[in-house]
Amino acid sequence: MMNRRDFIQITTISTAGILLPIKYIQANDVVFGPSNEKEILKPTLITPNNEFFALHIGDIPALDLKSWRLIITGYTERVTTLTYDDILKMKAITKMYTLTCIGNEVGGNQIGNARWTGVLMRDVLNKAGVKKGVKNVILRGADGYSTSIPIKDALHKDALLAYKMNGETLPKEHGYPLRFLNPRRYGMKNPKWLVNIELTPKDYKGYWEKRGWDDEALVQIRSGIRRPENKEIIESKIYTISGYAFDGGNHGGISKVEVSADEGKTWNEAIIWASDSPLAWSLWRYRWQVSSNDKRFFIKVRAIAKDKTIQGEITASGILSGVSGLHTVKVGIK
């Protein structure tokens, strides 16, 4: 919750000279908020709201719908202010998107899939009128967080301003009353608690970009094992291994998932049993029959995209662009 100091430190950020209720971030304010620390995510297509990971840079802002406004400024034909009711009156769209954090470790839990309801970003921008020469769109949240996306992203048919999550009003920790969804890019490009959209012909580096994280933040192909857990003791020689695979739609979606139980020497195709679109994860399973007398196994998974991209053992681009190594779990046979 914002305290009195936070409300006093209102930042004048818009090119129209409009004051916006954005928290001023000091170095000691920057912390991670709560996240889903469960060791194993349930293997369901839709992640329940209370199990969906949530990360933020400080306190969750307390926003009142009566005073909340979304203000569109910058290189627009007109400064435009929208209330929550204004947005609800626009054409609603529901889409299934998977979100994941750029800092998510291999096999980590900072990933989830939900049905999001909202309005197209381009419909909102059309109300303000987009001037020629716009290069980037700056997105600012009431928590002080900011980032930018290319104008082509903002005008894309999949760019959504969401106010519902899995059929419920957007939870506070997930950006109530409004958040942006840009599913081909990591969570840092999907800001919450939106209060300002600014169109600009210039480059703009937001909170994480200034700290060295990748400005493009394109989701890399990745997969994870959700069953069995690491170091699990399996009591049967026939076992169903299961998990997810996702490429953010950047490689056309997932076409195949393969599992290895011999440290990558041989690979076997799994069954993809649930998927919605390239912008949502695919869930897979593999019926494993133990054929040796070994008591210890290392199980690996890899995804193959529709453009033939094969998930590699090591991410070539480095941690600041997201990691995508092969998830491996160690299991024992009783």
Supply the pLDDT for residue 194: 98
CB-based contact 217:149 (threshold 8 Å)? no
Residue 158 and residue 272 share a domain: no
Residue 181 and residue 57 share a domain: yes
Boundary (domain end) residue, out of 211, 230, 258:
211
Supply the pLDDT for residue 318: 66
Q: How many CB atoms lie within 10 A of CB 172?
A: 15
CA distances from 203 to 25, 136, 138, 182, 198 (A): 21, 7, 9, 18, 12
Residue 226 and residue 97 share a domain: no
Per-residue pLDDT tens digits for 287-316: 999 987 888 999 999 999 999 999 998 765
Please report, for the domain that includes residue 95, its CATH number: 3.90.420.10
Residue 52 and residue 172 share a domain: yes
Please report, for the domain that includes residue 251, its CATH number: 2.60.40.650
Per-residue pLDDT tens digits for 195-227: 999 999 999 999 999 999 999 999 999 999 999
Report the C-alpha gap between 323 and 267 in whole angstroms. Answer: 22
Residue 166 and residue 37 share a domain: yes
Please report whether residue 88 resides in a domain: yes
Supply the pLDDT for residue 20: 52
Residue 259 and residue 120 share a domain: no
Residues of the chain scoring pLDDT < 50: 1-19, 24-41
Residue 249 and residue 203 share a domain: no
Supply the pLDDT for residue 42: 54
Name the domain count of the chain. 2
Boundary (domain end) residue, out of 183, 211, 239:
211
Q: Which domain holds residue 314?
A: 222-333
Report the C-alpha gap between 71 and 62 in whole angstroms. Answer: 18
Residue 277 and residue 200 share a domain: no
Nearest to 106 by CA among 235, 222, 255, 258: 222
pTM beyond 0.85, yes or no: yes
Supply the pLDDT for residue 23: 52
Q: Where are the alpha helices (DSSP H) in 246-290?
A: none
Please report whether residue 238 resides in a domain: yes
Report the C-alpha gap between 307 and 191 in whole angstroms. Answer: 29
DSSP state of 59: P
Supply the pLDDT for residue 29: 46
The values of phi and psi at residue 24, to 5°, are -85, 125
Please report whether residue 217 resides in a domain: no
Supply the pLDDT for residue 248: 95
Boundary (domain end) residue, out of 180, 211, 242:
211
Q: Where are the alpha helices (DSSP H) in the chain?
A: 4-8, 84-88, 121-128, 151-154
